[in-house]
């Protein structure tokens, strides 16, 4: 679902994200697969009580009664029962595919079981030729900007076309979140393009394409390390003259290991909250980690609805 840029300018905090989510005039219909875990149930209850979203809940027969009891307390929640957990996942995906839901959200189900029907070629949510990737929004206390980064969950070693898709998705997300011209940093451990690291050659091409307007309004710079991307003093010391250096809104990592390490490091050592969604699918898919910040499911749902 394509939305215009949100009013209010760039996001400043997760409180800002939630405020914009609650202020949406068109409430999104969220399909939650197996809302049997307490964090997911709490998010559904809170949003249903506030009227910030509508819910369609799919559940295996074994847990149907508890989910029906949850729905009975909030008008407007629909419950769909399947024989087993795999059937609940398939049913959830089909509801979104048929246009009855705008967002798909993982509850008490393993990610691989949910992704199996999401990626199904017959009734799944990934169009042929599109790239599936995961984008994460975070706010690190030491940095003034909110950061989008990718990919910490899906693509092990992105090729050139996947890196292009990652840039495209994150720029689109920044635009929809109110940032008219995001600064995108292409991450490497030095500032030099080196054929030994093929992704740096792709970086060079992406920067040229960005300058030509291929990705819409944005500024792309790199290669550069994370500190240079987010610390103006470091960029000055290194003599790096880039409008992105020290001011990045987006970090594009060249390998999943690096992105996932960044994710876990700032989450644990900085207590940085996270919101994550899958992109490339016809509707946003929310697959928060069980070990994420307490509010991660709510933040991820809000991000998905705003996108």
* pLDDT, average across residues 108-137: 95
pLDDT value at position 2? Answer: 41
pLDDT value at position 293? Answer: 59
pLDDT value at position 1? Answer: 37
More confidently predicted of 7 and 140: 140
Separation CA 11–CA 212 (nearest Å): 26
Q: pLDDT tens for residues 58-115?
A: 999 999 999 999 999 998 899 999 999 999 999 999 999 999 999 999 999 999 999 9
Q: Which of 41-45, 100-104, 246-250, 287-291 is least confident? A: 287-291
> Please, which pLDDT band fits residue 256 given cuts at 50, 70 and 90?
very high
Asked whether residue 241 carries a pLDDT value surpassing 90, the answer given is no
pLDDT value at position 34? Answer: 96
Domains defined along the chain, listed by start: 14-126+281-306 (3.40.50.10950), 135-269 (3.40.718.10)
Task: Record the tokens describing residue 208, joined without a space.
Answer: 């040229």
User: Residue 280 to residues 14, 200, 217, 304: CA-CA distances in angstroms?
Assistant: 24, 23, 20, 13
Q: What is the mean pLDDT of the chain?
A: 94
pLDDT value at position 273? Answer: 93
* pLDDT, average across residues 117-146: 96
């Amino acid at each position: 679902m394509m939305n215009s840029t949100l009013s209010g300018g760039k996001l400043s905090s997760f409180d800002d994200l939630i405020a914009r989510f609650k202020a949406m005039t068109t409430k999104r219909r969220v399909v939650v697969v197996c809302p049997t875990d307490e964090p997911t149930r709490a998010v559904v209850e809170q949003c249903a009580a506030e009227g910030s979203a509508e819910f369609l809940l799919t559940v295996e027969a074994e847990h149907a009664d508890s989910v029906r009891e949850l729905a009975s307390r909030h008008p407007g929640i629909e419950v769909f029962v399947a024989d087993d957990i795999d059937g609940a996942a398939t049913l959830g995906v089909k509801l979104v595919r048929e246009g009855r839901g705008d967002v798909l959200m993982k509850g008490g189900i393993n990610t691989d079981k949910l992704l199996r029907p999401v990626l199904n070629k017959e009734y799944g949510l990934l169009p042929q030729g599109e790239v599936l990737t995961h984008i994460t929004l975070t706010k690190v206390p030491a940095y003034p900007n909110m950061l989008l980064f990718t990919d910490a969950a899906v693509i092990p070693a992105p090729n050139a076309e996947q890196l292009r898709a990652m840039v495209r998705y994150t720029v689109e997300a920044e635009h929809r979140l109110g940032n008219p011209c995001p600064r995108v940093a292409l991450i490497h451990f030095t500032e030099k393009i080196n054929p030994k690291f093929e992704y740096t050659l792709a970086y060079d091409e992406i920067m040229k394409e960005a300058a030509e307007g291929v990705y819409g309004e944005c500024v792309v710079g790199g290669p550069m390390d994370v500190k240079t991307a987010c610390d103006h003093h470091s960029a000055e010391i290194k003599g790096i003259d880039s409008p992105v250096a020290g001011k990045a809104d987006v970090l594009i990592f060249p390998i999943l290991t690096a992105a996932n390490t960044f994710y876990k490091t700032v989450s644990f050592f900085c207590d940085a909250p996270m919101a994550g969604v899958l992109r490339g699918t016809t509707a946003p898919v929310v697959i928060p980690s069980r070990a994420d910040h307490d509010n991660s499911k709510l933040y991820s749902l809000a991000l998905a609805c705003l996108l």
